[in-house]
Amino acid sequence: MAEISLQNVVKRYGKTEVVHGINLDIAHNEFVVLVGPSGCGKSTTLRMIAGLEDITDGSVSIGSEVVNDLPPRKRNISMVFQNYALYPHMSVRENLGFGLKIAKQSEAEITQRVNEAADILGLDELMDRTPAELSGGQRQRVAMGRAIVRHPEAFLFDEPLSNLDAKLRVQMRTEIKKLHQTVKTTVVYVTHDQVEAMTLADRIVVMKDGYIEQVGTPMQVFNHP
Ligand code: ADP
Ligand code: ADP
């Protein structure tokens, strides 16, 4: 049983079709990376899984539920964006807990989950800082923390490292890999960076012009002509 399943998913903007009926099954705990040139439909596909874009045709399932008509917050997934979207006036601790507070979780539950996320991401020393007092990599970790505290079924990443310098990118790749191993979760990750795809993916999905061109392990995709 696939954790995330796309069946004949189509996306049109007006008359222009940008995703042409793709099929993809993603297994529980699998790390899947969508790669391909700019404009091939990676981000649109991810956003349709997240519910941030309506699908024009076909079907998206998460768990065993068809989610076509569910809003993002009801899909039990967390999206991590490249622009960190942290609340500037809140501390790291408040940033981590805010979503749970809105969802009316108890104080005890919020504290427990926030501390757990801080522990996983090594944020303990930074909890009282505001985003302005953090480095780029630290902000990205807080953004991941905000996703972790929700205990989602799956994490969706849209080019999360593209704003970081080369050294930090390598460091954050390691963090994300560690996160996947620690939290044991399903990940769908969009990037145009082949090295990122190689190092992170269990399975790579190569997109081209709104189609899935190839699916395979990093070895299969990058080592064969
Ligand atoms: P990628 O993530 O692979 O760079 P996208 O999924 O962002 O590609 O875009 C796929 C195609 O859809 C592109 O041709 C893009 O211009 C088009 N597109 C994306 N968003 C919109 C939109 N809101 N309205 C019209 N066209 C869009
Ligand atoms: P980046 O390379 O991502 O821009 P910075 O040069 O901004 O990182 O920060 C380097 C280090 O200094 C980081 O560990 C960060 O936590 C710390 N730092 C940056 N700004 C502040 C600040 N206003 N107060 C305390 N520490 C800071």
pLDDT on residue 149: 92
The ligand whose atoms approach the alpha carbon of 14 most closely is 1
Cα(101) to centroid of ligand 1, in Å? Answer: 34
Distance (Å, whole) CA 105 – CA 137? 28
The ligand whose atoms approach the alpha carbon of 132 most closely is 2
Question: Which atom of ligand 1 is closest in space to residue 37's alpha carbon?
Answer: 3
User: pLDDT tens digits, residue range 3-51?
Assistant: 999 999 999 999 999 999 999 999 999 999 999 999 999 999 999 999 9
Q: Do the Cβ atoms of 123 and 142 come closer than 8 Å?
A: yes
pLDDT on residue 83: 65
Query: Which residue has a Cα nearest atom 27 of ligand 1?
Result: 13
Show the ligand 2 pocket: residues with CB < 6 angstroms. Answer: 133-138
pLDDT on residue 137: 84
Query: Which residue has a Cα nearest atom 20 of ligand 1?
Result: 44
Show the ligand 1 pocket: residues with CB < 6 angstroms. Answer: 13, 18, 36, 38-44
Q: Is the pLDDT of residue 225 over 70?
A: no
- Global pTM reads 0.83
Query: Which residue has a Cα nearest atom 8 of ligand 2?
Result: 135
User: pLDDT tens digits, residue range 87-110?
Assistant: 999 999 999 999 999 989 999 999
Residue with tokens 């979780």: 105
User: pLDDT tens digits, residue range 114-157?
Assistant: 999 998 888 999 999 999 999 888 898 899 899 889 888 899 99
Query: Which residue has a Cα nearest atom 23 of ligand 2?
Result: 133
Query: Which residue has a Cα nearest atom 20 of ligand 2?
Result: 133
The ligand whose atoms approach the alpha carbon of 84 most closely is 2
| ipTM greater than 0.85 | no
pLDDT on residue 64: 86
Compute the average pLDDT of residues 51-68. Answer: 95
Cα(64) to centroid of ligand 1, in Å? Answer: 28
Distance (Å, whole) CA 28 – CA 1? 8
Residue ranges of E strands in 14-166? 16-26, 31-35, 57-62, 65-66, 77-80, 154-158
- Give the residue ranges of DSSP H helices in 122-184: 136-148, 166-183
User: pLDDT tens digits, residue range 147-164?
Assistant: 889 888 899 999 888 877
Please give the residue that has the higher pLDDT: either 83 or 40.
40
